[in-house]
Chain A
Amino acid sequence: MSFLNPLGLWMLLGIIMVIIIYLKKQQEIELKVTSIKLWQEVLADAEKIKISKVEEYLLLLLQIAIVIFMVMALAKPMIYGGAPRENVTIILDNSFSMQAVSSGKSHLELAKDKGRSYISGLGEKVVVTLITANDEMNLLLEGGSKREAIQSLEAVKPSNKPLNLKAMEGINPEFLSCKIFITNKKITDMEGIITVGEDLYNLGITDVKYDYYEHVVICSIRNYSTTSIEAKVSLRDESGREYLQRKIIKGNQEEDLLIALEAEPEVIKVSLDIEDMLQQDNQYVLGIGKDYKKEVLLIGDNYYMEKALESIRGINWKKSEEIEAGYDLYIIDKKHVYEIEKPTWYLKGEEILEAEEREGTKELRIRGYESAEETLYIENPFVLEEKKGFHPVIESEGKALAIIGVEGNRRIVYSSIDLSKTNLTMTPLFPIYVEEMLYHLLDESFLKNMEPINNPPKKFIVGEAVSIVSTEKSWIPVVIQPENIFIYLAMLLLFIEWKVYKNARY
Chain B
Amino acid sequence: MEEFLREIEGLKITPKRKILQGTKGNTASFGLGSSTDFFEHRPYAPQDDLRKLDWKLYCRTKELYVRQFTEESQIHIKIILDASLSMDYGEHNKFQLAKQLSMGLGYLTLKGLNLLTVVKLNDQSEIVEYKLNNIDQFYDFKVKMERLHCEGKTNYEGLIQQEVFYSGITFLFTDFLSQGYEKMLDFLASRNEEIIAFHILSEEERSPKLKENLKLIDTETGEEQRIAVTKDIHSIYKEKISAFLDETKEKCNRRGIKYIFSETTRSPAEILFEAIGGI
Chain A contact residues, CB within 8 Å of chain B: 25-43, 45-46, 49, 51, 502-506
Complex Cα distance, B215 from A28, in Å, reads: 6
Chief secondary structure at chain A's binding surface: helix
22 contacts between A and B (CB under 8 A): A25-B213, A28-B212, A28-B226, A32-B89, A32-B216, A33-B216, A33-B218, A34-B205, A34-B220, A35-B177, A36-B217, A40-B225, A41-B240, A42-B240, A43-B227, A46-B236, A51-B228, A504-B230, A505-B211, A505-B230, A505-B231, A506-B233
B36 adjacent to chain A (CB < 8 Å): no
Closest beta carbon of chain B to A27's beta carbon, Å:
7
Q: Which of A36, A41, A502, A506 contacts B229 (CB 8 A)?
A: A506
Closest beta carbon of chain A to B124's beta carbon, Å:
20
Q: How many A-B residue pairs have CB under 8 A?
A: 95
Q: Which of A25, A30, A42 contacts B236 (CB 8 A)?
A: A42
B 123-153 to A, binary, CB cutoff 8 A, 1 in contact else 0: 0000000000000000000000000000000
Complex Cα distance, B231 from A503, in Å, reads: 7
In the complex, besides A31-B210, A38-B240, A504-B231, 9 extra interface pairs with C-beta distance below 8 angstroms are A27-B212, A30-B214, A34-B205, A34-B218, A35-B177, A36-B216, A36-B218, A37-B177, A45-B236
Please state if B234 and A506 are interface contacts (CB–CB under 8 Å): yes
B86 adjacent to chain A (CB < 8 Å): yes
* Chain B positions within 8 Å of A42 at CB level: 233, 236-237, 240
Q: Which of A31, A37, A46 contacts B233 (CB 8 A)?
A: A46
B 230-254 to A, binary, CB cutoff 8 A, 1 in contact else 0: 1111101100110010000000000
* Chain B positions within 8 Å of A49 at CB level: 232
* Chain A positions within 8 Å of B89 at CB level: 32, 34
Closest beta carbon of chain B to A484's beta carbon, Å:
35
With both beta carbons as reference points, the residue of chain B lying nearest to A33 in the complex is identified as B216
Please state if B230 and A43 are interface contacts (CB–CB under 8 Å): no
* Chain A positions within 8 Å of B240 at CB level: 38, 41-42, 45
Closest beta carbon of chain B to A399's beta carbon, Å:
97
Closest beta carbon of chain B to A31's beta carbon, Å:
5
Decide yes or no: A35 and B218 within 8 Å by CB, A25-B213, A27-B213 being known contacts. yes
B175 adjacent to chain A (CB < 8 Å): yes
Please state if B216 and A39 are interface contacts (CB–CB under 8 Å): yes
* Chain A positions within 8 Å of B219 at CB level: 32-34
Complex Cα distance, B237 from A41, in Å, reads: 9
Please state if B230 and A31 are interface contacts (CB–CB under 8 Å): no
Please state if A36 and B225 are interface contacts (CB–CB under 8 Å): yes
* Chain B positions within 8 Å of A27 at CB level: 212-213
Closest beta carbon of chain A to B187's beta carbon, Å:
23
* Chain B positions within 8 Å of A35 at CB level: 86, 177, 218
Decide yes or no: A28 and B214 within 8 Å by CB, A43-B233, A49-B232 being known contacts. yes
Which of the listed residues A26, A27, A35, A37 has the most CB atoms from chain B within 10 Å of its own CB? A35
* Chain A positions within 8 Å of B244 at CB level: 38
Please state if A25 and B212 are interface contacts (CB–CB under 8 Å): yes
B49 adjacent to chain A (CB < 8 Å): no
B163 adjacent to chain A (CB < 8 Å): no
B91 adjacent to chain A (CB < 8 Å): no
With both beta carbons as reference points, the residue of chain A lying nearest to B88 in the complex is identified as A34
Complex Cα distance, B216 from A41, in Å, reads: 13
B47 adjacent to chain A (CB < 8 Å): no
Which of the listed residues A25, A27, A34, A35 has the most CB atoms from chain B within 10 Å of its own CB? A34
Complex Cα distance, B226 from A36, in Å, reads: 10
Complex Cα distance, B221 from A421, in Å, reads: 131
Which of the listed residues B86, B89, B228 has the most CB atoms from chain A within 10 Å of its own CB? B228
Complex Cα distance, B233 from A41, in Å, reads: 11
With both beta carbons as reference points, the residue of chain A lying nearest to B85 in the complex is identified as A34
With both beta carbons as reference points, the residue of chain A lying nearest to B213 in the complex is identified as A28
B 85-108 to A, binary, CB cutoff 8 A, 1 in contact else 0: 010010000000000000000000
Please state if B225 and A32 are interface contacts (CB–CB under 8 Å): no
* Chain A positions within 8 Å of B225 at CB level: 36, 39-40, 43
Complex Cα distance, B218 from A32, in Å, reads: 6
* Chain B positions within 8 Å of A51 at CB level: 228, 230, 232
With both beta carbons as reference points, the residue of chain B lying nearest to A26 in the complex is identified as B213
With both beta carbons as reference points, the residue of chain A lying nearest to B218 in the complex is identified as A36
* Chain A positions within 8 Å of B226 at CB level: 28
* Chain A positions within 8 Å of B229 at CB level: 505-506
**Across the A-B interface, the 3 shortest Cβ-Cβ residue pairs:** A36-B218, A34-B86, A506-B234
* Chain A positions within 8 Å of B214 at CB level: 28-31
B3 adjacent to chain A (CB < 8 Å): no
* Chain A positions within 8 Å of B220 at CB level: 34
Complex Cα distance, B232 from A66, in Å, reads: 27
* Chain B positions within 8 Å of A37 at CB level: 177, 218
Please state if B232 and A29 are interface contacts (CB–CB under 8 Å): no
B223 adjacent to chain A (CB < 8 Å): yes
